[in-house]
Structure 1
Amino acid sequence: MAFWIPIDRNHVLNEGWEKNATYQWGIPLHPLGEINVIDYVLQAQGDIEDMRTRQRSLIFQMFCNVISACLFARNVPVAVRILMRQRRALAAWCCLLQALAGLTYTLSCLGCGMPDGPLCRHVLWIAGAGIALSSICVGTTLLQKAYLVHNKNKWMLAIGIILLLPQPTVTYYTWISPAAMVPSAGCLLLYPPELPWIKLALDAPINIIFSVAFIIVVYRQYHLFGSAAWARLVRDGIQTMCIIVLSNIVCMLCIAFEVANLFSEQFFTLDWVITAVLLGHHLSAQLHIRNVAHVPRTTHALRDFSQIETAPSHGLSRPHDAKWLQSWRHVHT
């Protein structure tokens, strides 16, 4: 498939292209990044094969963006329902911000295919900001969970905050890197070779801390509860937190070693979507647990009482009992 044709960064970026480029905020803008999907496809008029190649890659991107938009949109009502009950739920705020950022990115990608839609560069700049925001939101959620399960360890909280602060570095490199429309890949960020290793340096330390923190929790739970520990880990959300960390580590390594050439940048978005799905699943499970916990038990306790037949009372049918009841009512009225 044409989408997986390797791309040479130097082949797309001709030597000395910055000299004739337009600058914004001191950033050189590549001409191929200053067009949208429709303009890019129309540039291939007269070459049917080239036009088909461009359309295939763009349709594939659009398909992925539609699925991603649906997954991000699913998290919004879940987070809102939790926030309506508990406005200080940090995980719900993080989930909501991550989902809104993801929707903004995916909708801008879809809008890039509309007349007068966003340019390729605009879409990638939105992605750069969203990826950093997603990393901060997910890291904050993991840090809060690790902080609580380790008896509110202040050192863990301080180290986690310090390691999360440099995440906007990814946004900076995304914005200064040239964007370009490539026939076999659509809108692509031609990032510098050092960016994957910078991302690795940013994510590795905090992921190691989270991994160790949650492994300790798993060991303690297993030591206390044996085979029943896994059910408790699922209920407490530790299992989901571990999967989020694993997803981040795998995607981080794929980006660092460029397992798919320049297409490895798609692992940024993939990790974004996976963590959003897992975070939404975690919040949905917690919401379900809270709903079950607040179901009144009185209904179940008295459910069958109405089915009990009472024996007919014959005592009050006697005349002296009737007179006694009448006199009792007279005294107490």
Structure 2
Amino acid sequence: MTVDPEYASALADGLTIPHYVWGKQVDPLGEIDNITYILLAKDQEEMRLRLLGSATQTMSIILVIVIFVSSTLSTAWRVFRQPRSVVNWCTFVQSSSATMAFGFGITMKLSTACNCRWAIWTASLGQAISGICASIVLVWKAYLAYDRDRRFVWAGIILNLPEPLYLYAAWMHSRTTFTPLGGCTMLYPSWLPWARFGMDGPFNVIFSAAFIVVAARQYRKHGSAVWGSLRNEGTIGLLILTFSNIFCLLLTATNFADEYSMMFWGVDWLITNQILIHQHRPMRRSLHESGRARGRNRNARRHDAETLFHPQPMSPSDKFAQWAELNLLQPKSNSPLASVLEAPEPDISDIGHTPAPNTASHLHSTQASTGYW
């Protein structure tokens, strides 16, 4: 059996060439875990380098996984409160897939239950799922902002069709291995970062810009402070997202950090997740204040019926305010205060010009009133 010259370092460590995986010869170093790789060091200097690289990567994974676990719990609570929200489900799936991927990574670092190839392949799968979820969120925002125009949905589906190509390239055209300082890493072809940016960069810019245009238009039309803040936050988020995509592309494509260059994909993944979660918070409030018609589901109608036929109990302060409004601000009709307030105003335009009364009629009315006749 022929051996790839790239696997000479693995043979020097005493490893044997494993079987082919899906017709592809894999690196033997990618089939072991982090602890085994450290123990295969030939001397103390090499073990020191491997421990330093492993500690750096482990601390980075722990920091990222804590953030993603927090995002997963936050988005899970949103899904529990609003299970019909598409954006809630997408942000939850994106956060949970990242948590799963980095969970495999920390398992590979601290135990022997997972090898390097499974950790890298799971991370690639999670990143592909994250890209699809981010695209769905941006498409859904543009779809709602443009009065449910289905052309945005079809455009999003067409632009996301090449997404599985990244997964295929990461699995079949890349090599997973261990390096002394970089730890478990993926040696990818030079064109893969550019292909990743070509699938995500223009898509994020186009759909984010479409939503910002509507937010700015609604702010000029309604003058709502919510739409103004949404426009500003959307613009800032778009700039950060675009800058993150371009910055991480250049760092990974040029192999700026050598063995640590792959970590910039995780940074871009984390930034995209946090921007999507942060921008979703004022979205429902802004759509409500803009005056757009929104569909009502059965839960909303049931809530309205329960509120109408089963009102909530009033607090003591509300009861006092209702009593004051009925008894003080609106006096009863038979009270003296009501007779004074409801009496018509006197006509003072003819004061000083009142004609003298008729003597006969005045005498008759006086006798009638005194009862002498």
Of 157, 161, 164, 1:161 maps to 157
Change (3 A) 1:245 1:222: farther
1:72 is aligned to 68
2:228 is aligned to 230
Matched residue SS, 1:24:
coil
Change (3 A) 1:216 1:305: closer
Change (3 A) 1:172 1:288: same
**1:279 aligned onto 2:260:** no
**1:188 aligned onto 2:185:** yes
Of 74, 81, 89, 2:85 maps to 89
How far apart, CA to CA, are the structure 2 residues paired with 1:112 and 1:136?
Answer: 26
Change (3 A) 1:205 1:111: same
Shift of 1:92: 1.1
1:302 is aligned to 318
Where do residues 1-333 of structure 1 align in structure 2 (5 Å cutoff)? 22-45=19-42, 47-176=43-172, 177-221=174-218, 223-224=220-221, 228=225, 230-233=228-231, 240=237, 243-261=240-258, 263-283=260-280, 302=318, 305=321
Identity of aligned residues (%): 32
How far apart, CA to CA, are the structure 2 residues paired with 1:300 and 1:234?
Answer: 42
Shift of 1:234: 6.2
Shift of 1:299: 5.6
Deviations 1:35-93 (A, max 9, x none): 11111111115x22211111111111111111111111112222222222322211111
Shift of 1:28: 1.4
Shift of 1:98: 1.2
Deviations 1:253-294 (A, max 9, x none): 44344443453322221111122223333455669999xxx9
Which consecutive residues of structure 1, in runs of 5 or more, have no partner in the other structure? 1-9, 312-333
Which consecutive residues of structure 2, in runs of 5 or more, have no partner in the other structure? 288-302, 304-311, 329-373
Aligned-residue RMSD, C-alpha: 3.7
The residue type paired with residue 318 of structure 2 is L
Paired residue total: 294
**Larger deviation, residues 179-188 vs 279-288:** 279-288
Shift of 1:113: 2.4
Shift of 1:307: 11
How far apart, CA to CA, are the structure 2 residues paired with 1:144 and 1:20?
Answer: 48
Shift of 1:246: 4.5
How far apart, CA to CA, are the structure 2 residues paired with 1:232 and 1:215?
Answer: 8
Q: 2:19–2:25: 8 Å Cα contact kept in structure 1?
A: yes
Q: 1:36–1:120: 8 Å Cα contact kept in structure 2?
A: yes
Q: 1:146–1:214: 8 Å Cα contact kept in structure 2?
A: yes
Q: 1:214–1:238: 8 Å Cα contact kept in structure 2?
A: no
TM-score (normalised: structure 1) = 0.75
Q: 1:23–1:29: 8 Å Cα contact kept in structure 2?
A: yes
How far apart, CA to CA, are the structure 2 residues paired with 1:287 and 1:84?
Answer: 16
How far apart, CA to CA, are the structure 1 residues paired with 2:148 and 2:256?
Answer: 39
How far apart, CA to CA, are the structure 1 residues paired with 2:62 and 2:19?
Answer: 32
TM-score (normalised: structure 2) = 0.67
Shift of 1:222: 5.5
Q: 2:49–2:181: 8 Å Cα contact kept in structure 1?
A: yes
How far apart, CA to CA, are the structure 1 residues paired with 2:266 and 2:320?
Answer: 54
Which segments of structure 1 move beyond 6 Å, counting only runs of 4 or more?
286-290
- Higher RCO, 1 vs 2 (CA within 8 Å, ≥6 residues apart): 1
The residue type paired with residue 137 of structure 2 is T
Q: 1:98–1:133: 8 Å Cα contact kept in structure 2?
A: yes
Q: 1:200–1:256: 8 Å Cα contact kept in structure 2?
A: no
The residue type paired with residue 302 of structure 1 is D
Query: Larger radius of gyration, structure 1 or 2?
Result: 2
Shift of 1:146: 1.5
